[in-house]
C-alpha cells in the first residue's frame, strides 16, 4: 500500500471543511502560486514532512501460478509520520468566531471516532495533536486573527517488486587453459 | 439624507403586482462595490401599494457606493432587479448576470461601447470590476467621463440575458483639476500616443479559483493597448520587493488602466513586450489629472 497524496489531500480538505463549515473557496492548500484568494476568514492546509518510523518490514510471497519471473514478490511495508499544519485566518481577534476558536474546535473534534473514520479510510491515523497556537498577525496595518494547529498522522507506506530468480546456469569447463573434469550430478 | 430607492414589480403578464414580497438576495443582496457586506436598510423593502415598493439606503451606503440585488419572488417579471446606490460624485453602473431563464447566473460583461453623449466620440472604456467574489460587476466612469457625460453599452457573456445593457453617466462634479486655464479638460492621452512605442497585448486575469483546495487557472481576457514602454530607472527597481530587483523592469504609460494584484479580486495583468511576459507590479492612476496611467512591470521568470 503506497501513499496516495491526492486521497490524503481530499481527506484533510473534508476534515477542515466539516469542522469550519467554510465554503470551498475559503480552504486551500498552502504554497501555491498566486495572490491570496479571499479576505479572511479562510483556512490553509500544509502537508509537510514525511518521517520514517522505526524500520520497514520486508516479506516475500511466492505464487507459482503467476507468470514466469514474477512468482516471487518482495514487499516492504512500514509506518510513516506525516506532519500537517492547519492555519486559520479570521478578521476578528476576539469573540466566538476567532481563528483561535476554530482551531480549538478542530483540535477537539480530532478525538471523535466519526472524524477519525474519514481519515482512517485513506490510511491516516491520528498520532499526535499539537497545541493550538495563537499567532495573530498584521495585515497591512490591521490585526488579523491567526491560529495554527499541527497534527501528526501515522500513515502506512509500502512498495513491492517481483525479484525474479535463477532459471539456468551455463558452466564453462575450461579455466586458465585447463579442462576441468565434468561431474554429473545425479538427479 | 440619501434618496429613497423606488422599485416597481410586475407579474408575469406585465401588470403591477401589489402583493409581492421582495427581499434582498441572500449573501450578496446588499454589498459595497468592493464586495463587503453592508447592513441592509432599516425597515427593509416597504410596499407602497399599486406595485410600487421602496427602501431607504443610508448616507453611508450612498457615499460608499452600494449594490442592491432584489429577489422579487416567484411569479414576478423580472424576478431579479438590481440598483446601484451612489451620488453624482461617485456614480457607477451595476450589472448582475442573469441566465437565459432570468435566474442569477455568472459571467462578466464586456464594454461594447463607451461614447461621449454629446459628440458620440469614443472614450477609453473603464474596466469592469467584480464586487468581491460575488457575481456582481460594476463599471465606474472617471470623473472626467462623468462630467462630460458618456453612454455605456455592456454586452452580456454568452448565454446570459439580456444580450446588452445600457447605462449613462452625467452630471458629475467638475473639479478644478479637470479644467485647464483655457477651459478644456486636460487629456494627456495625445501625449502618450505621440510617444507610444507600439501596441501590446494584455492578459487580464480573474482571481484564481480553488477547487477542493487546489488552485485552478483563472479566465483570461485578452486585449491590446497602445502604450509607451520605457526602461525603468534604478530608483524604480530599488522600490521593488527584494526578490524582484534582478528582473527586467519597464515603465508603461497608457490611456487604458493596467491592473496590479488585488487580494481576492484581481490577478496582476500580464503585458507581452517583445514576446516576453511582464507582470504589472504597481500602477499610478493619473486618470483625473491627465487621463493616463503609469505602470511598472517586471519580466516574469522563464519568459
Complex prediction ipTM: 0.79
Q: A29 vs B267: CB contact, 8 Å cut-off?
A: no
- Cβ-Cβ contacts under 8 Å, A29 against chain B: 213-214
Helix (H) or strand (E) holding A81: strand A72-90
Question: What is the rounded average pLDDT of the residues A150-176?
Answer: 86
Of B213, B262, B263, the CB nearest to A13: B213
| Partners of B90 in beta bridges | none
pLDDT at site B67:
93
Confidence of residue B14 (pLDDT cuts 50, 70, 90): confident
The CA distance from A142 to the nearest CA of chain B, in Å, is 15
Confidence of residue B183 (pLDDT cuts 50, 70, 90): very low
Q: A24 vs B211: CB contact, 8 Å cut-off?
A: yes
Average pLDDT over chain A reads: 90
Residue A39's closest chain B neighbor by CA? B264
Whole-number Å distance between alpha carbons of A151 and A147:
13
Q: B263 vs A35: CB contact, 8 Å cut-off?
A: yes
C-alpha cell belonging to residue B144: 472626467
pLDDT at site B294:
95
The CA distance from B238 to the nearest CA of chain A, in Å, is 21
pLDDT at site B174:
53
A78 touches A54 (CB < 8 A): yes
Confidence of residue A137 (pLDDT cuts 50, 70, 90): confident
Of B133, B261, B267, the CB nearest to A25: B133
Whole-number Å distance between alpha carbons of B142 and B25:
29
Confidence of residue A187 (pLDDT cuts 50, 70, 90): low
Per-residue pLDDT tens digits for B141-155: 988 888 778 888 888
For chain B, give the percent of residues with pLDDT over 70. 94
Higher pLDDT, B69 or A185: B69
pLDDT at site B181:
43
- Cβ-Cβ contacts under 8 Å, B262 against chain A: 35
Q: A38 vs B211: CB contact, 8 Å cut-off?
A: no
Within its chain, how far is the Cα of B66 from the centroid? Answer: 13
Give the distance between the most distant pair of CA atoms in chain A: 94
Q: Global pTM?
A: 0.56
Amino acid at each position: 500500500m503506497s501513499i496516495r497524496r491526492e486521497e490524503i489531500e481530499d481527506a484533510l480538505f473534508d476534515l477542515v471543511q466539516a469542522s469550519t463549515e467554510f465554503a470551498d473557496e475559503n480552504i486551500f492548500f498552502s504554497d501555491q502560486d498566486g495572490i491570496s484568494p479571499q479576505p479572511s476568514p479562510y483556512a490553509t492546509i500544509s502537508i509537510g514532512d514525511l518521517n520514517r518510523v522505526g524500520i520497514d518490514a520486508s516479506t516475500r510471497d511466492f505464487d507459482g501460478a503467476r507468470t514466469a519471473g514474477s512468482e516471487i514478490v518482495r514487499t516492504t511495508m512500514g509506518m510513516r509520520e506525516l506532519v500537517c499544519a492547519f492555519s486559520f485566518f479570521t478578521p476578528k481577534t476576539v469573540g466566538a468566531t476567532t481563528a483561535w476558536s476554530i482551531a480549538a474546535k478542530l483540535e477537539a473534534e480530532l478525538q471523535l471516532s466519526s472524524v477519525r473514520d474519514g481519515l482512517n479510510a485513506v490510511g491516516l491515523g491520528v498520532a499526535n495533536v499539537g497545541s493550538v497556537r495563537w499567532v495573530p498577525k498584521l495585515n497591512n496595518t490591521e490585526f488579523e486573527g491567526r491560529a495554527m494547529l499541527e497534527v501528526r498522522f501515522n500513515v502506512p507506506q509500502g512498495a513491492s517488486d517481483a525479484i525474479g530468480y535463477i532459471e539456468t546456469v551455463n558452466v564453462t569447463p575450461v579455466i586458465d587453459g585447463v579442462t576441468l573434469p565434468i561431474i554429473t550430478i545425479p538427479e | 439624507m440619501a434618496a429613497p430607492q423606488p422599485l416597481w414589480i410586475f407579474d408575469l403578464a406585465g401588470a403591477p403586482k401589489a402583493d409581492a414580497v421582495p427581499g434582498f438576495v441572500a449573501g450578496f443582496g446588499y454589498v459595497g462595490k468592493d464586495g463587503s457586506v453592508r447592513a441592509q436598510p432599516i425597515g427593509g423593502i416597504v410596499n407602497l401599494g399599486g406595485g410600487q415598493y421602496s427602501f431607504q439606503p443610508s448616507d453611508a451606503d450612498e457615499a460608499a457606493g452600494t449594490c442592491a440585488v432584489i429577489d422579487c419572488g416567484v411569479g414576478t417579471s423580472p424576478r431579479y432587479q438590481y440598483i446601484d446606490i451612489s451620488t453624482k460624485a461617485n456614480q457607477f453602473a451595476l450589472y448582475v448576470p442573469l441566465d437565459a431563464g432570468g435566474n442569477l447566473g455568472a459571467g462578466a460583461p464586456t464594454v461594447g461601447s463607451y461614447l461621449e453623449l454629446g459628440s458620440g466620440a469614443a472614450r477609453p472604456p473603464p474596466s469592469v470590476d467584480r464586487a468581491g467574489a460575488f457575481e456582481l460587476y460594476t463599471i465606474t466612469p472617471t470623473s472626467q467621463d462623468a462630467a462630460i457625460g458618456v453612454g455605456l453599452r455592456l454586452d452580456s457573456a454568452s448565454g446570459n440575458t439580456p444580450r446588452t445593457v445600457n447605462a449613462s453617466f452625467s452630471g458629475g462634479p467638475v473639479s478644478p483639476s479637470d479644467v485647464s486655464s483655457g477651459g478644456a479638460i486636460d487629456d494627456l492621452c495625445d501625449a502618450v500616443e505621440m510617444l507610444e512605442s507600439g501596441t501590446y497585448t494584455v492578459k487580464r486575469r480573474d482571481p484564481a479559483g480553488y477547487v477542493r483546495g487546489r488552485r485552478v487557472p483563472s479566465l483570461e481576457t485578452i486585449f491590446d493597448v497602445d502604450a509607451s514602454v520605457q526602461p525603468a530607472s534604478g530608483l524604480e527597481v530599488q522600490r521593488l520587493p527584494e526578490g524582484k530587483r534582478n528582473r527586467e523592469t519597464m515603465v508603461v504609460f497608457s490611456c487604458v488602466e493596467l491592473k496590479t494584484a488585488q487580494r481576492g479580486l484581481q490577478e496582476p495583468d500580464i503585458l507581452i513586450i517583445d514576446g516576453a511576459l511582464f507582470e504589472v507590479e504597481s500602477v499610478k492612476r493619473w486618470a483625473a489629472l491627465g487621463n493616463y496611467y503609469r505602470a511598472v512591470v517586471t519580466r516574469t521568470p522563464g519568459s
